[in-house]
Structure 1
Amino acid sequence: MSDDEGGQYEIYVSTDVETDGPIPGPHSMLSIGSAAYRADKTLVATFTANLLTLPDASAHLRTAAFWESEPEAWAACRRDPQPPEQVMPAYVRWLKELPGTPVFVALPAGFDFMFTYWYLMRFAGESPFRQSSLDIQSYVMGARGASFVESGKHYMPRRWFVDLPPHTHIALDDAIEQGALFCNILAERRRRDRRRGDFETLLR
């Protein structure tokens, strides 16, 4: 089935969050960035916002030490922070305006989706993603038939990273980078599947 069959598109919403600790609640999401892609790597729209920290939350010591080593990224995620009760409803409205079904994509999805879903439900009362997310490393594991560890970023072929923007630890920059990476992987997998299908047709 093609992406636009019946007028229904999946829009891959590559998302990166920056935080001051490992879990939401005790710690805060500092920044969120999402880049919405079609499967052909067309960048449809972007969303980004910095958030005020949660009351009674605090920074994790190891995360605070990381931010000390990234002063430019820290400054970027603390610029003009907004209350999460404003940011997350605005994010929901943005997601609902996308021209298709939003699919949450991240690397690793377990971390970024945990924060995003918690904040969506806490401050917007809903998740347009429902409870689902697409983890790029898991997708690579299935596509290559490799182990999970051997499907990580350091094991991915360099051709998937051609012309990607740099990884800056700024949420929107990293969301754009990871979305382009996912689209490169998706395109190669689809080309391979088409070639396999053509070959199998010849054998019939």
Structure 2
Amino acid sequence: MPAPRPRAARPSLYISVDIQADGPVPGPYSVLSLGAAVAGRQDTGRFTAADPEQDTFYRELRPTGTETDPQALAVSGLDRARQTAEGSEPAAAMAEFTACVRAVSEDAQPVKTGYPAGYDWMFLYWHLIRFTGSSPFRHSGCLDMKTMDATKAGVPLRAVAKGTMPRELRSRRRHTHHALDDAIEQAELFANLMNRKGTTHAL
């Protein structure tokens, strides 16, 4: 009996997501802002970069946790008291984000990416499950640019950082710690990494 043919893979739509939070873990601490930008589409054998400013999403959220880390707040510069009064309800913001991801994905599978991805993915996935009951990325649709960078450069993971990248791989944009700015910056970085050919880090 012949082996079954492998099912054709759907394209991937890579979405750069940046989270600004007021602490190290979700639950006790809160997402204060969420920014996202479409980075590009991967079909079999071909990656097509997107204009990172074309399809974006940004919300500032009402805090849900009871604890805060002053150092984390200082990084983002966000005012937790103002967001308690004026921020979007997390359930509404997560539902709007999910709808946005599904709208831009169309026939592709959405994949969240970031540099690094772990911190933002932890907060994003927790909030999606907590407030909407599901994730448009499912449970594993996350690609870490830092791991990808190390793999393509052929160096240990701990040896790579944005500052050690060849200049041609870095985004032309500043990393401002505003969630949308940083999502757009990282979308550009992602496209550069996907199109990388034969460059190495300065170790």
TM-score (norm 1): 0.79
Aligned pair count? 178
Return 41-50 or 101-110, whichever deviates more: 41-50
**Unaligned 5+ runs, structure 2:** 1-7, 41-46, 199-203
Select the structure that is richer in helix. 1
1:62 Cα deviation from its structure 2 partner: 2.9
Determine whether 1:45 maps to 2:55: yes
Code of the aligned partner of 1:169: H
Alignment partner, residue 202 of structure 1:
none
Which residue of 116, 134, 143 maps to 2:143?
A: 134
Q: Deviations over 1:55-91 (max 9, x none)?
A: x512124324x24xx6xx4269949410001000111
Question: Percentage identity across aligned positions?
Answer: 33
Q: The residue matched to 1:40 in structure 2 has which SS?
A: strand
Q: Answer with 152-161 or 73-82: which moved more.
A: 73-82
The TM-score with structure 2 as length reference comes to: 0.80
The reply to whether residue 74 of structure 1 matches residue 67 of structure 2 is no
| C-alpha RMSD of the superposition | 2.3
Structure 1 residue 174 corresponds to structure 2 residue 178: no
Q: State the alpha-carbon separation in 1 of the partners of residues 32 and 162 from structure 2.
A: 24
**Which sections of structure 1, spanning at least 5 residues, go unmatched?**
1-5, 193-204
In structure 2, which of residues 132, 145, 149 is the aligned counterpart of residue 124 of structure 1? 132
Pairs within 5 Å for 1:158-197: 158-161=167-170, 164-189=172-197
Cα deviation 1:121-170 (Å, max 9, x = unaligned)? 000110111122111110011111101112221221111125x2211110
Question: Is the Cα–Cα contact under 8 Å of residues 114 and 144 in structure 2 kept in the other structure?
Answer: yes
Distance 1:168 1:75, change over 3 A: farther
